[in-house]
Amino acid sequence: MFLSVFDVFKPGIGPSSSHTMGPMTAAADFLDLLRAQDRRGAAAALRVTLHGSLAFTGRGHATDRAVALGLLGFRPADIAMDDAERGLEDLRASKRLAPAGLPVLAFDPATAIVFDYGPPLPGHANGLTVTALDPEGVPVLSEIYYSIGGGFVVTAAQRAADLPPPTGAADPLLWPYPFETAAAMLRMARASGLSIAAMKRANEAVGRSEAEIDAGLARIWRAMNACVERGLSREGELPGGLRVRRRAKRIRDQLDREQGSNTAQPHVVADWLSVYAMAVNEENAAGGQVVTAPTNGAAGVVPAVIRYYVDHCIGSDPARIPEFLLTAAAIGGLIKHNASISGAEAGCQGEVGSASAMAAAGLCAVLGGTATQIENAAEIALEHHLGMTCDPVGGLVQVPCIERNGIGAMKAVAAASLALRGDGSHFMPLDNCIAAMRQTGEEMSAKYKETSLAGLAVNLPEC
């Protein structure tokens, strides 16, 4: 699966790209399918069934809310939150949908969204079935969708045929540098004399102008940085019932007071890294607007490392942020193509592990690393997340997810620093590390893959 930088980094809403953005897109896609069917006039009601991980952690991840928003016609990239909340309030009261080009449809979110706690569907751990019913309750149209991570959605037929989801990437056959592996990426870099970011930009330029690429990258960073700032300014309790309080603002205030004093420890920069990441993931946990990087659950790592670069690195240049994003996207695309970025498929090694590898590569690039050093940085970061489970408490993207992003950011910086201390040669290639992650995810028990059936999710405080 070849990804554009604008597929790796996509704006949307929290708390989960696979549990929120994907189901929202699937629900909106079903309305388009229904509009295209001759039987649309027979439809009187809708029913949505969530399967696998979408059922087990759907309430904590607000999957039911996301489905309702999709059926109201909202899509993740362009959702207006105030309009969305008003739409949800009206739907709860009326229990009716009035989609453009379709008859009024009965839909009560409290009863028409079914959580199926049985075995997952065969195509992926994140499955949902959307069904249109006639006035007697007989199905007139049904479609199975799989939310495969990062907000991407495929139908059951596309999954069975091993077809990739629609993306913003131009035909890879037209790309000047269509690398499918890290080894191929390094060969092409040597042959062309170009950096990884330059090759990625050249691929993006197939179907997009340079001005469009620059504007798109600028939008990504503005959205990421705005999310950091919102998270650093807000207080209160996160939704969901765990009574977890936001901490980013309080920590940032402490750090601000310590600046210029003799009391700050030398490792205080690690606190800055953590607080940038935590700010994003507190916003995500609250259902706010974030940017997948490559998922919502791991959305804080890349922005945190960019802020670390801009705010704390000697000689940093904000003009190099596009280089960071392009390099990170190249690594994220390799991981998605050869393994998975879905917590329900690979565990958190596929989410925070991938994000840390992407951030390590991006930081290494803007600090002057060569292509081989960048590949080494990504491998170090990913290697030291292997085996990490996805076991969110209560199905909420809060514990351990918020702090985990901070630690992932720290690992990314450490990995980039280690790689820059070497010449790029190393024992374990990135491709082999990605393969190890895929194999580990395949053999990992489903209890540890975003189902909240084991691990931290069932080891809770008694008081």
The structure's pTM equals 0.92
Which among 2, 8, 10, 1 is positioned nearest to 362, based on CA atoms?
8
Range 59-74 burial, b when 16+ CB lie within 10 A, else e? bbbbbbbbbbbbbbeb
If you write DSSP's letter for every residue of 419-462 in order, what string do you get? HHHS-S--SS-HHHHHHHHHHHHHHS-GGGBSS-SSGGGG----
How many residues are recorded in the chain? 463
Say if CB 19 and CB 152 are below 8 A apart: no
Q: Give tens-digit pLDDT for 346-364.
A: 999 999 999 999 999 999 9
Does residue 463 register a pLDDT over 60?
Answer: no
Rounded to 5 degrees, φ, ψ at 188 are -65, -35
Mean pLDDT to the nearest integer, 245-273: 92
Measured distance CA(152)–CA(157) in Å, rounded: 15
What is the separation of C-alpha 289 from the centre of its chain, rounded to a whole number of angstroms?
12
According to the model, what pLDDT value does residue 40 have?
65
Q: How many CB atoms lie within 10 A of CB 439?
A: 13
**Max Cα–Cα distance, the chain, nearest Å:** 75
Measured distance CA(24)–CA(70) in Å, rounded: 4
Q: Give tens-digit pLDDT for 282-339.
A: 999 999 999 999 999 999 999 999 999 999 999 999 999 999 999 999 999 999 999 9
Mean pLDDT to the nearest integer, 73-91: 92
The residues, ordered by sequence, that sit 6+ positions from 145 with a Cβ below 8 Å of its Cβ are 22, 23, 26, 29, 30, 127, 128, 129, 130, 153, 154, 155, 156
Measured distance CA(285)–CA(301) in Å, rounded: 15
Measured distance CA(73)–CA(50) in Å, rounded: 19
Helix (H, G, I), strand (E, B), or coil: what is residue 262?
A: coil
Q: Give tens-digit pLDDT for 27-71.
A: 999 999 999 987 667 899 999 999 999 999 999 999 999 999 999
Measured distance CA(460)–CA(285) in Å, rounded: 19
Which among 77, 174, 63 is positioned nearest to 115, based on CA atoms?
63
Does residue 171 register a pLDDT over 70?
Answer: yes
Mean pLDDT of the chain: 95
Does residue 166 register a pLDDT over 80?
Answer: no
Measured distance CA(279)–CA(224) in Å, rounded: 11
Q: Give tens-digit pLDDT for 195-205.
A: 999 999 999 99
According to the model, what pLDDT value does residue 39 have?
65
According to the model, what pLDDT value does residue 232 have?
98
Q: Name the burial class of residue 170, with classes exposed (0-12), middle (13-18) and buried (19+) by CB atoms within 10 angstroms of its CB.
A: middle
Helix (H, G, I), strand (E, B), or coil: what is residue 330?
A: helix
Q: How many CB atoms lie within 10 A of CB 112?
A: 22
**H or E element: which one contains 251?**
helix 248-258
Mean pLDDT to the nearest integer, 337-346: 95
Measured distance CA(83)–CA(196) in Å, rounded: 41
According to the model, what pLDDT value does residue 108 have?
98
Q: Give tens-digit pLDDT for 196-230.
A: 999 999 999 998 999 999 999 999 999 999 999 99
Does residue 380 register a pLDDT over 60?
Answer: yes
Which among 140, 137, 207 is positioned nearest to 172, based on CA atoms?
207
C-alpha distances out from residue 453 to 15, 390, 396, 402, Å? 19, 10, 13, 19
Q: How large a percentage of the chain has pLDDT more than 70? A: 99
Q: Give tens-digit pLDDT for 127-148.
A: 999 999 999 999 999 999 999 9
Which among 404, 323, 319 is positioned nearest to 364, based on CA atoms?
323
According to the model, what pLDDT value does residue 381 have?
98
Tokens of 409: 């950011």
Angle formed at CA 369 by CA 368 and CA 374, multiple of 5 degrees: 145
According to the model, what pLDDT value does residue 318 have?
98
